[in-house]
């Protein structure tokens, strides 16, 4: 089976009815790139930069970050989506101490932390913009919950470019800036956000946590964590549609994107870009190549319109079992 899968490495991720799907990899460290390339991933859909900040006392400086990002951007043919620092709540680092909140998942984390600790954010953005000149980099902002956060980020990126130009440093003027959609309010406001950024990536791990009010690291309530909850599916659909309407690409980089049980459903929801652990890429590709996307769209539309929970579940199972 493994050998059969490996033969798919250089085959296109094209469905039976001719839809081209982009399958990318999630990585945590530059050394993960090799694994992504072994399975023929068409780019990096999520590079979790917080791993560079872990197991150390001091945060990495601009030069160290620049070298790490550059290594990945230069090595990969396709787009490399670098997520700005997503610390706080379930992701902690000794190097960046965050005061303990009563509800850390709802507190100072990710972009909120970066907009508060500007020198931390500036250092990372400088390193990113400089490294981006080595290839096709995309800057992805986690936990966006309103348009003002997005605007503060784009303004800061603009200012840093001016600064780098004045210093006569090499940097990329064209790296795209996008928002992670992982807060329900951002998914509902996706049409507004889509006008002011260049791509979306749906982070289902947090989107599910916040939509269903289930702490993703609390075992007591884990049984309620449900990617197939109608509210979650509606939010995913809404985000994809908002991206299509605005003409910006929408990918998904949460665990759901790499779960083969959900591949057909996501195709039916209109998803065309997936990013996942490298180990899942070829299995997902097998399902994509076997899928009839227009048929899946029709079935998924029927499913979303169905308000009888039992029947909806049957329809989901039927799509998964095709
Ligand atoms: C997500 O929330 O779905 C995601 C991809 O990010 P993380 O799991 O790192 O929070
Ligand atoms: Mg997340």
Q: What is the ipTM of this complex?
A: 0.99
Find out whether the beta carbon of 48 lies less than 6 Å from any atom of ligand 1. yes
Cα distance between residue 161 and residue 178, in whole Å: 17
pLDDT value, residue 170: 98
| CB 204 less than 6 A from any atom of ligand 1 | yes
The whole-model pTM stands at 0.97
Residue 299 tokens, joined: 């079935």
Atom of ligand 1 nearest to the CA of 206: 2
Residue ranges in the chain modelled with pLDDT below 50: none
Tell me which residue of 211, 202, 132, 203 sits closest to 164, measured CA to CA: 132
Mutate to test the pocket of ligand 1, among 203, 211, 227, 255 (most ligand atoms within 8 A of CB): 203
Structure confidence at residue 64 (pLDDT): 98
User: What distance lies between CA 87 and its chain's CA centroid?
Assistant: 15
To test the pocket of ligand 1, the residue of 91, 205, 214 to mutate (highest count of ligand atoms within 8 Å of its CB) is 205
Q: What is the pLDDT of residue 27?
A: 98
Cα-flanking dihedrals φ and ψ of residue 185, to 5°?
A: -60, -35
Closest residue by Cα to residue 116 from 97, 137, 94:
97
CB 183 within 8 A of CB 144: yes
Please tell me the predicted confidence (pLDDT) of residue 99.
85
């Amino acid at each position: 089976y493994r050998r059969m899968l490996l033969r798919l490495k250089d085959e296109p991720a094209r469905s039976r009815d001719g839809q081209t799907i982009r399958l990318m990899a999630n990585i945590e460290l530059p050394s993960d790139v090799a694994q992504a390339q072994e399975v023929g991933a068409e780019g990096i859909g999520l590079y979790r930069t917080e791993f560079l900040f872990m197991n150390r006392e001091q945060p990495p400086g601009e030069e160290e970050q620049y070298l790490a990002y550059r290594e990945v951007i230069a090595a990969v043919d396709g787009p490399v989506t670098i997520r700005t620092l997503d610390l706080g709540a379930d992701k902690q680092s000794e190097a960046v101490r965050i005061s303990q909140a009563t509800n850390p998942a709802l507190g100072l984390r990710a972009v909120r932390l970066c907009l508060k600790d500007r020198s931390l954010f500036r250092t990372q953005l400088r390193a990113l913009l400089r490294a981006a000149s080595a290839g096709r980099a995309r800057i992805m902002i986690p936990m966006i919950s309103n348009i003002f956060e997005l605007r503060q980020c784009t303004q800061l990126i603009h200012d840093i470019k001016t600064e780098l130009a004045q210093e006569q440093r090499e940097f990329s003027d064209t790296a795209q800036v996008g928002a992670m959609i992982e807060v329900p309010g951002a998914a509902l406001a996706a049409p507004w956000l889509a006008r002011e950024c260049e791509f979306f990536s749906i982070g289902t791990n947090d989107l599910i946590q916040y939509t269903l009010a289930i702490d993703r690291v609390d075992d007591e309530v884990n049984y309620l964590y449900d990617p197939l909850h109608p509210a979650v599916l509606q939010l995913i659909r809404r985000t994809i549609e908002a991206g299509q309407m605005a003409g910006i690409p929408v990918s998904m980089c949460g665990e759901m994107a790499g779960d083969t049980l959900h591949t057909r459903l996501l195709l039916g929801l209109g998803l065309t870009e997936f990013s996942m652990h490298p180990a899942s890429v070829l299995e997902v590709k097998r399902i994509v190549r076997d899928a009839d996307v227009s048929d899946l769209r029709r079935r998924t539309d029927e499913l979303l319109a169905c308000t009888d929970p039992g029947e909806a579940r049957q329809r989901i199972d039927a799509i998964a079992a095709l």
